[in-house]
Amino acid sequence: MRLLHYLPTPLRGTILAATALCATAFAQTGLTTIQDTLFKADGTRFTGTVTIQWNTFDSTNVGTIVQQSKSVDVVNGLLEVQLVPNAAAAAPANVYTVRYQSDGYQQFVETWTVPASATALTVAQVRTGMVTASGGGAVGNQSPVVESDVVGLVSDLAQRPVKGPGYGTGSVAVIDQNGQIEAAVGDLGQCVLVDGTTGPCGVGSQFFDAETPGGTIDGVNNTFTLQNGPSGSSLALYRNGVYMTANTDYTLNGATITFASGAQPLPGDALIANYRIDPSAGNISALRTGTTGVGSVVAQVICSANGTATSAVTWATLGTCAIPASALKAGDRFELRFSFTHTGTASAFDVQVNWGNTTVLSRQAGQLDTAFAGQVDAAVSATGTQLTTQSWGTVLSLRPSIISAPAQNGLSLVLQAALVTGGADSIALTSYTVLRYPAH
């Protein structure tokens, strides 16, 4: 500046204008300055080399930045470098990988995300994470990457279905009313229906044999009702073992049998009906009411397994059973049967059963109880569940109870145990079974 003072006025103006023009051009490059003073942990200034590497990305204000690297010398802790902003890279997402070398080897590695800035930024303002060492340990102090810092990650994760309370393995996956993944509940050979429940597949005919039609046999009544509407002409109707002819001795309308005048059964007569139905096309009430026949409903086994054991004095979960929301219909009933084995005589032990977030059974057995068993029956309604429990031990007396639980959108049935004083004793869940009796 002193030299400019002694220059002629026209020349001095030309130099100042050129300087201003260079500054303007520099400001228009679209680069962000990272400027900082780096220290070591002992308080001395860092001296070494910083190598910055990046992949190809498209900058919004500069253009396409090709993959490359840049080395910057840091002397007495002073770092200054200009980089293209990558925080709003058009595509693909990009971070700068920064390696610090000193004393002949690489000290640590971190990543930078650089925003557009007219003022210089510090390293702390652009650092987004630390890179893990190849040996599995973290290099330096690791700073976690926040999900929101990864372009598109939060929105992508929001598109993925999540596990529901009834999620399980080894079963068909169904989507509940909340969009969560749960396991279909049913028996082998059953089909999954569109609402996530299970039932007969409806393939082929179902046969019903030796059914007694409903109606009063008094010599006057001539109308009787079957549990289902027979398909086609499959009905074989017998009166006292004699085959009755359709449209002569009786007529059939759906599931209703009407005897011809004068042919109505007399007191003491026996009526027997054999027929078949097509579950995919006809009335399948017998499949859902448990009447005798091939299609009768039986209990569904939700869970049946051996549990684990514990010697801890804190609660340990020894067995669980996931019950999805699709299986908790009003009118459904569940039955849990379980048995524990106690080894040793040094400690008493506690047992607890949880129906979702409700504790339905909690008892303490004594040192001399070598076994503990119980049963829980659950009746599901639209407003909640009523649970009836009973439990006993080899010495412990039988205790019944009735508990109400609120309605739950899927739940886990959990069996827990803990020793009272610890020691060499152990408590094991030898087996447990959960059955479901679906409403019809």
Structural domains of the chain, with CATH: 1-26 (no CATH), 31-149 (2.60.40), 206-288 (no CATH), 300-437 (2.60.120)
Distance in angstroms (rounded) separating the CA atoms of residues 24 and 144: 38
Do residues 211 and 299 lie in contact, with contact meaning Cβ atoms separated by under 8 Å?
no
In terms of Cβ atoms closer than 10 Å to its own Cβ (0-12, 13-18, 19+), residue 72 is: middle
Pairing of strands 250-253, 256-259: antiparallel
**pLDDT (tens digit per residue) in 131-152:** 654 444 444 444 456 777 788 8
Distance in angstroms (rounded) separating the CA atoms of residues 105 and 99: 10
Of 240, 239, 242, which is closest to residue 257 (Cα–Cα)?
239
pLDDT in tens, the chain (440 residues): 444 455 555 555 555 455 444 444 444 468 999 999 999 888 899 999 999 999 888 887 778 888 899 999 999 999 999 999 988 776 666 789 999 998 877 778 999 999 989 999 999 999 987 765 444 444 444 445 677 778 888 888 888 888 887 787 777 888 877 788 888 877 766 777 776 777 666 555 577 888 999 999 999 999 999 988 888 788 999 999 888 999 999 999 989 999 998 889 999 999 999 988 866 554 444 444 334 333 444 578 888 899 999 999 999 999 999 888 878 888 889 999 999 999 999 999 999 999 999 999 999 999 999 999 999 999 999 899 999 999 999 999 999 999 999 998 889 999 999 999 978 999 999 999 999 888 76
Distance in angstroms (rounded) separating the CA atoms of residues 249 and 103: 108
Distance in angstroms (rounded) separating the CA atoms of residues 122 and 33: 9
User: Considering just the CA atoms, what is the radius of gyration of the chain in Å?
Assistant: 39
Distance in angstroms (rounded) separating the CA atoms of residues 71 and 81: 10
Of 320, 325, 386, 396, which is closest to residue 353 (Cα–Cα)?
320
